[in-house]
Amino acid sequence: MQETAVRAGQAGWARLSGVAVFKRLRGSGEWLRWMAVELRREMGVEGPGSRGRRLRAVDATVVSEPGSRGTDWRVHWGLDLGTLECDYFELTGVEEGETLRRFPVERGDVLVADRGYAGAVGVGHVLRSGGDVVVRWPTGRPLRGSEGGRLSLVEAARGLQVGEIRECEAGVVETGQVHWGRLVMVRRSEQAAAAARRRCRKKLRRRGLSPIVYEAARYCFVWTSLSREQASAEQVLEWYRGRWQIELAFKRLKSLLGLGHLPKTDPGSAKAWLAGKLVAGLLVQRMLQQAGSFSPWGYALGEPP
């Protein structure tokens, strides 16, 4: 804050103390949030319009305040997999969980999400908005089989060889309604299955792995509302693999822009700090857009000199 005050004085902008800068930052959270929203809208990523179907990866990352032993803030992020640009974000407290309902959906959108978003209400929200879903499905979440009973994911995948893909009809049950789609399954390699079991052991800690969880680690399950005519099973898995791009986006935000470094304990100043970081990230994204269509000779790429 003191360095910012000195730079402002040297530039002739204002003569402030470090404390005065802090007080202004603490009260600017809503202004910075508005600025980031307007930047996103100005960059033309508000909605797909007539561009056809849009693949969107959605996820959230957490940020903790100094001295905290848990999560304090959650950044919800939408990433256009066609352009690798942010198309939606929201900053909330830890009490706001991960759900597909949080994201606005345009007709034709395909939302790609990890297992934390495998919920019937969220799936219903996307489908009622005219979109589709590609979501990793955990073995503990119920699905309805084509015969009307509960579908056992492990039994449906038994007999698969490493790398082999299988699919079957499966419905997500929302209150009073069933959203039918496909469950796509693939057998993991032994190395990948072992890594999945280690993650499960770390999460379960002392409880250990049940035989079902141990066997389920051999497979990857992805549920989609897309029909076979819209996407083959191989395409569904390929689109789900593209979700990793949003993990890379979070790494860039945290490692290059310091989004994960939150030196504030006051809720107002903490929110302003995070919103300011998001503004910085969107400004970098905007500069990259300009750089992609401008040459050192002063004319747009593709035009004659």
Tens-digit pLDDT profile for residues 245-303: 888 888 877 777 777 666 655 667 777 777 787 788 778 877 776 766 555 555 554 54
Domain ranges in the chain are 54-265
pLDDT score for 283? 82
**Which DSSP letter does residue 52 get?**
-
Tens-digit pLDDT profile for residues 112-123: 999 999 999 999
Tens-digit pLDDT profile for residues 68-79: 665 578 888 888
d(CA 73, CA 65): 8
**Which DSSP letter does residue 206 get?**
G
Crossing angle of the two packed helices 18-26 and 267-292, in degrees rounded to 10: 80
**What tokens appear for 282 in the block?**
């969107």
Name the nearest CA neighbour of 184 among 237, 240, 229.
Answer: 237
Q: List Cα–Cα distances, 189 to 34, 119, 164, in angstroms.
A: 46, 28, 10
